[in-house]
Structure 1
């Protein structure tokens, strides 16, 4: 396990400070605010720690309200909305400096057998044939707004082995492309022992899901994003459905596309598949996508 992954696991290991109240540390993302995927993953950890062990997360719906302060801890309060025979529902509010910065609702379910079908996995090259972040990102350092962007990007993604199937938006800024993006990802190290828990795999996938989902919006307009300075953006809301078991330390294909952008907002839709073709997760996110004036 890499040191970066250990640090991420420490970040997700919340401190219980009272019944249904937890505290998490925060750190700066590539931009000077808390990474949205971190807040979503920590909130799901908090919710999951109040749920019986035989119930598994099957969906979450979240709103990002205020940019998080990376210099302050985040307090997560959990409301036990419902405990039914099959389903458990939790609501989580993340608070910093006395005000809510994030809301999450999550639902958990006992295992059941039932109808089963899925859309087939799209074609994609094997992840081992694609360059790592360390190999790919330095090629485009001249596209970034300053020298620190490359360093912060590499640091932010050190815990995750994330490989682009096609060139990312900042590599082809100025040329519009089909609004579709694919990346393979897995944690940078195996999860075993005490950390090998189903909830943690789900929380790690939640963390990664906020990294690239709006790339397809940028591709449709030939924009490079915040790293090139031609777009200002932030996540607004985020929804995930967890369909089938998966492991975050094994390759997952993140197939992303954008059906619409308007009104200063862009919508991303995605499906996450295991390497053997099982549809594991569906994701939808809307974000602010503004062109600086």
Structure 2
């Protein structure tokens, strides 16, 4: 296991400070706010720690309310909305400086058999044939604004082996492309044990990294990296269909059906390498064009 992955696991290992109240820390980010995927993953950890062990996360719906302060701890308060025979529902509010910054509703289910079908996995190259981030990012040094930005990008994603199928938005800014993007990802190291909640929370963490890329591609924008868009996650929803491991390759197939009103919508499916549809994801994000001075 890499040191960066070990640090990420520590980040997700929340401190219990009271019944149904947890505290989490943050890690340095590339922008002066808490990374949205971190808050969502930590909130799901908090919810999961109040749920019976025989129930598995099957969906979450979240709103990002206020930009989080990376220099302050985050308190997660869990409300036990319902404990039924098959389903358990939890609501989590993340609080900083006395104010809510994030709201999550999530549901857990006892495993059961049922009807089974899925959308087929789209074509994608083998992940091992693609360059890793340390191999690919230096190629875009000029596009992103210099070696210091490259270093910060690599450091921010060091816990995850994330490989773009095609060039990322910041590499082709100024050149509109089809609003579709694919990345392969897995944790940068093997995980001990088979705790399904850990794998779901790690996928939740990664899911906020690239989902809005497809919106940027449609307009030839590089995003926050190049400074031609002011963006932030607004809401996020995930459905967990089938078991998976976050330390094995997952294909994140992303597209954007619409952007308007200063917002962009991204939707995606996450497949295991052997073709099973594991997760569906939808996110809307703020997409403001900076005003010229």
- The offset of 1:29, in angstroms, is 1.6
Alpha-carbon distance in 1 for matches of 2:38, 2:70: 11
Q: 1:283 aligns with which of 262, 281, 285?
A: 281
1:104-157 Cα shifts (integer Å, max 9, x gaps): 000000001000000000000000000000011111111124543212110111
Alpha-carbon distance in 2 for matches of 1:166, 1:231: 21
Corresponding position: 1:48 with 2:48: yes
Which residue in 2 is equivalent to 1:252?
Answer: 250
Corresponding position: 1:201 with 2:178: no
User: Is the contact made by 1:145 and 1:229 (CA closer than 8 Å) also made in structure 2?
Assistant: no
Which residue in 1 is equivalent to 2:188?
Answer: 188
Corresponding position: 1:15 with 2:23: no
1:178-198 Cα shifts (integer Å, max 9, x gaps): 0000000000000114xx311
> Helix, strand or coil: the match of 1:229?
coil
- TM-score normalised to structure 1 length: 0.98
Which residue in 1 is equivalent to 2:64?
Answer: 64
Which residue in 2 is equivalent to 1:90?
Answer: 90
Which residue in 1 is equivalent to 2:233?
Answer: 235
- The offset of 1:28, in angstroms, is 2.5
1:52-86 Cα shifts (integer Å, max 9, x gaps): 00000000000000111110000000000000000
> Helix, strand or coil: the match of 2:92?
strand
Instruction: Give the RMSD, CA atoms, in angstroms.
Output: 0.8
User: Is the contact made by 1:260 and 1:267 (CA closer than 8 Å) also made in structure 2?
Assistant: yes
1:8-32 Cα shifts (integer Å, max 9, x gaps): 0000000000000000011222111
5+ residue gaps, structure 1: none
User: Is the contact made by 2:80 and 2:90 (CA closer than 8 Å) also made in structure 1?
Assistant: yes
Which residue in 2 is equivalent to 1:34?
Answer: 34
Which residue in 2 is equivalent to 1:151?
Answer: 151
Alpha-carbon distance in 1 for matches of 2:72, 2:210: 25
Count residues with an aligned counterpart: 291
- TM-score normalised to structure 2 length: 0.98
Which residue in 1 is equivalent to 2:4?
Answer: 4
